[in-house]
Amino acid sequence: MSLHQFVRDVPDFPKAGILFRDITPLLANAEAFKQAVEAMAQPVLNLQPTHVLGLESRGFIFGSALAQKLGLGFVPARKPGKLPLPTHKEAYGLEYGADALEIHTDAFGPGDRVLIVDDVMATGGTADAARRLVTRSGAHPVALTVFIELTTLPGREKVQGLPVFSVLRY
């Protein structure tokens, strides 16, 4: 089955000029979602990650499923103010604004190998902030895996040499 059929294009969301790739049809179809998770897991099996870092919020969905499949712990990268203990924080820019991600300061330690997971990579700002968070914690970011990569935007260049794996490319 082609996973492209489970991605809806929504023009002008969240603001004019943005073409949003809606993955809710994929998530609603058990077989398509399973196929997507399998495709995201396959290229990272030999990297020997110890943890999965899922980026808020749709990265939680794919990240949790990948952590389960790979038998790894899951760590959420949250928006500011959502975590109860001391955090590391990294700001980033978006196609349509600015934001930041946080992880607990004890989320990772030296020797941890972290797979970063998100639903979509566009400009790479979110992924790069996540890469910086992992590095700041003393761990090693091993790769970024995403369901969708928007190839017309400079995401790969932004993550500074981090291997990037994507299932669908637009």
CB 94 within 8 A of CB 125: yes
Catalytic-labelled residue, pool 21, 56, 58, 136: 58
| Token representation of residue 132 | 């910086």
- Give yes or no: 58 in active site: yes
- Give yes or no: 102 in active site: no
Catalytic-labelled residue, pool 95, 136, 156, 169: 95
Burial 83-120 (b: 16+ CB within 10 A, else e): beeebbebebeeeeeeebbbbbeebbeeebbbbbbbbb
Residues labelled as active-site residues: 58, 95
